[in-house]
Homo-oligomer: A and B are copies of this chain.
Amino acid sequence: MLLRLSTLFLRTLREDPADAEVASHKLLIRAGYIRRAAPGIYTWLPLGLRVLAKVEQVVREEMDAAGAQEVHFPALLPREPYEATGRWTEYGPNLFRLKDRREVDYLLAPTHEEMFTLLVKDLYSSYKELPLALYQIQTKYRDEARPRAGLIRGREFIMKDAYSFDLDDEGLEASYQRQRAAYQRIFDRLGLEYVIVAATSGAMGGSRSEEFLTPTAIGEDTFVRSPGGYAANVEAVTTVAPPALDFADAPAAHVEDTPDTPTIESLVAVANAAHPRPDRAWTAADTLKNVVLALVHPTGERELLVVGLPGDREVDLKRLEANVSPAEVETAVEADFAAHPELVKGYIGPGVLGPNLDGTAVGDEGRTAVRYLLDPRVVTGTRWITGADQPGRHVFDLVAGRDFTADGTVEAAEVRAGDEAPDGSGPLELARGIEIGHIFALGRKYAQALGLTVLDQNGKSQVVTMGSYGIGVTRVLASLAEANHDAKGLAWPAKVAPAQVHVVATGKDPAVFEAAEALAGTLDARGIEVLYDDRPKVSPGVKFADAELLGVPLVVVVGRGLADGLVEVRPRVVTADGPQSEQVPVDQAADRVAELVDGLLA
């Protein structure tokens, strides 16, 4: 393949696009790989499409090698199957819905569990036909509230989604592990660093799921790792709750004046000044903070919720959201407080929250009907300073289980570096990453809802158990750009680069252009993919800048050195200790380049 820059449909840009925040987004636009068509919706230009095809091909080969068979579903789907599983509603505003000319409901599929389940139900009926794994590489739709970071969170994007079908749990486990191993091979081949972390299943449902995250500071996901090997998305981390304490000797609760203490910081200062603790100073961890939030259910219904947690921790909205899925979480607004005068902003406490301790129904004793959930650390016997439900007053020595209780617990508090791993494998460290893959042991949820059964060895009908395995193909491409760039531009791994060699002819000497043309032609004839900058009236500076921006792994400069019979081979690397430029005799250039390309592709 030989692409000439003189005719290639490409305009590189020197300025970052106004709406771009992350490097991959900026550079993919500036280098002419993609172009924005609408918020979160992109057009693929020739070079971008070449990279995309290569990423897809790696995914396809590993899926085939793992025994999955490729099919292709429509993007436009009828409502009924999604109604049957509840997802028509659960997806809430994230689902693009539309009606056809007969006013029949359709959706643009965000994922295809329902359709794969129905297809297998349609064609298969016996355990002998299992295990089965199917996959597709297909365009998906999700009406994101905040499309961002270019391809990383788009509204139209390409996914590889695979599905496994097994008779029993052991079969599902084997299918799951086969896909997991295929994912490892895919990301290994693409040269994309990844960690596998425990995850929540969200709207997908199912018994267990793991995410593949590629570590990067711009990632939207936060994950944790322990020295002992625990790894999880923070959303999936469970808090290590301390044991319950004996409160027989605890003093009675007492309300104190704490004027002007609407924040934890001001409360701790006043408590230490006016109501000091004998043994040590009060800290934020001694306070119980009650945060008013709102759940927005897929039906649109808005429900207030109060989360009680130690005052030294913030509510992590994403963690809370993962644990109340499919509801979305919003912060409370003034109107919420106005509707609930019992919630005294800054001084809210269990006095008005939660059910009665004696199990009697909440009546007109001033308690709120708003649901109250506690952080798991607030175990029976713990003592707290917390709001007294009056302006400027707090209650001290309020004991959980003695003086108050709640409607339940919830994982909503932020996870912090140094927190204990839930499996006891040591303190956690935190990092950020992009979710590039997610694998789910779904179990029987979809098969049950849609009636996918097969006859087993005894002629008995059994509900099939399923797994679902996704890779965000376009997001993987963006992650590769993110992981392989510097200030000057992209630096693609050779296996996914739009070409392997970028030949640059500089100056005006016709002999230079002839030699460059000949070299490009020779490389092309040897099966090497070549981008040839044959533009006649473009300065060397612009050509070099474009080469660095485009990120083809080997740049061959044919220019002034040709007078001495030399061309320059410059690897496009982002690290100082990478391979260096070399001067190569022009008649050996093709051999040397071919050798380097072989090395890069090996």
Hey, which bits of chain A sit against chain B, CB under 8 A?
Answer: 7-11, 32, 35, 37-38, 41-46, 49, 52, 67, 69-78, 93-94, 96-98, 100-101, 106, 108, 115, 119, 122-124, 132, 134, 139, 141, 143, 145, 155-156
- List residues of chain B with CB within 8 A of the CB of A38: 74, 76-78, 106
Q: Could you tell me if A119 and B43 are in contact, using CB atoms closer than 8 angstroms?
A: yes
Q: Cβ of A123 and Cβ of B37 under 8 Å apart?
A: no
Is the beta-carbon distance between A101 and B43 smaller than 8 angstroms?
no
Instruction: Write the nearest CB–CB distance from A572 to chain B, whole angstroms.
Output: 23
Known: A9-B134, A37-B115, A132-B9. A46 touches B69 (CB 8 A): yes
Given known contacts A35-B122, A78-B38, A108-B76, A9 and B43 CB-to-CB distance under 8 angstroms = no
CA–CA, A115 to B38, complex, Å? 11
Query: Are A46 and B74 interface neighbours, CB within 8 A?
Result: no
Q: Which of A74, A93, A97, A106 has the most CB of B within 10 A?
A: A74
Question: Which residues of chain B are near A10, meaning CB under 8 Å?
Answer: 123
Least CB distance from A464 to B in Å reads 14
Distance in angstroms from A254 CB to nearest chain B CB is: 50
- B residues less than 8 Å from A72 (CB atoms): 43-44, 49, 52
Known interface pairs A9-B134, A108-B108; 19 further A-B residue pairs with C-beta atoms within 8 A, sorted by A's residue number: A8-B69, A9-B123, A35-B122, A37-B73, A37-B77, A37-B78, A38-B106, A41-B77, A43-B71, A44-B73, A74-B156, A75-B75, A75-B139, A75-B156, A96-B100, A98-B108, A100-B155, A101-B145, A139-B139
Q: Are B70 and A49 in contact (CB under 8 A)?
A: yes
A43 B115 Cβ-Cβ under 8 A = yes
Q: Kindly state the separation between the CA atoms of A42 and B391 in the bound complex, as whole angstroms.
A: 64
Neighbouring B residues of A155 by C-beta, 8 Å: 76, 100
A14 to chain B, nearest CB (A): 14
A11 adjacent to B124 (CB under 8 Å): yes
Nearest residue, chain B, Cβ from A43: B73
Question: Across the interface, do B119 and A35 meet the contact criterion of CB distance under 8 Å?
Answer: yes
CB distance from A77 to the nearest CB of B (A): 7
Of all chain B residues, the one with the shortest Cβ separation from A37 is: B74
Q: A547–B145 Cα gap in the complex (Å)?
A: 51
CA distance A44 to B73 in the complex (A): 6
> Are A156 and B76 interface neighbours, CB within 8 A?
yes
> Which residues of B lie under 8 Å from residue A75 when comparing CB positions?
75, 139, 156
CB proximity of A42 to chain B, nearest CB, Å? 7
CB-CB under 8 A from A101, the residues of chain B are 93-94, 143, 145
For the complex, what is the distance from the CA of A93 to the CA of B101, rounded to whole Å?
A: 6
In the bound complex, how far is the Cα of B301 from the Cα of A517, in angstroms? 61
Contacts of A123 in B (CB 8 A): 9-11, 32, 35
Contacts of A122 in B (CB 8 A): 35
Partner of A46, one of B42, B71, B108: B71
Chain B residues within 8 Å of A32, by CB: 123
User: With a CB–CB cut-off of 8 A, which chain B residues contact A11?
Assistant: 123-124
Q: Which of chain B's residues has its CB closest to A98's CB? A: B98
List of B residues within 8 angstroms of A119 by Cβ: 35, 43
Could you tell me the distance between the alpha carbons of A537 and B230 in the complex, rounded to whole angstroms?
48
> Are A71's CB and B45's CB within 8 A?
yes
Chain B positions within 8 Å of A70 at CB level: 46, 49
Closest B-chain residue to A100, C-beta based? B143
Complex: how many Å from CA A141 to CA B340?
Answer: 50
Query: From residue A525, how far is it (CB to closest CB) to chain B in Å?
Result: 17
Closest to A118 in B: B37
| Given A11-B124, A115-B37, also A42-B100 (CB < 8 A) | no
- Nearest Cβ distance between residue A312 and chain B, in whole angstroms? 36
Closest to A1 in B: B64
Taking the closest CB of chain B, its distance from the CB of A148, in whole angstroms, is 15
Q: Which residues on B sit within 8 Å (CB–CB) of A71?
A: 9, 43-46, 49
Q: What is the CA–CA distance of A72 and B139 in the complex, to the nearest angstrom? A: 12
Across the interface, name the chain B residue whose C-beta is closest to A107: B98
Q: Which residues of the other chain, B, contact A139 by a CB distance below 8 angstroms?
A: 75, 139
Write out the residue numbers on chain B whose beta carbons fall within 8 Å of the beta carbon of A7.
Answer: 67
Chain B residue nearest to A108 in the complex (CB): B76
> Nearest residue in B to A94 (C-beta to C-beta)?
B101
Which B residues touch A134, using CB under 8 A? 9
Q: Which residue of B lies closest to A112 (CB)?
A: B43
Please, which residues of chain B bring their CB within 8 A of the CB of A94?
A: 101
With both chains docked as a complex, state the minimum distance between the C-beta of A37 and any C-beta of chain B, in angstroms: 5
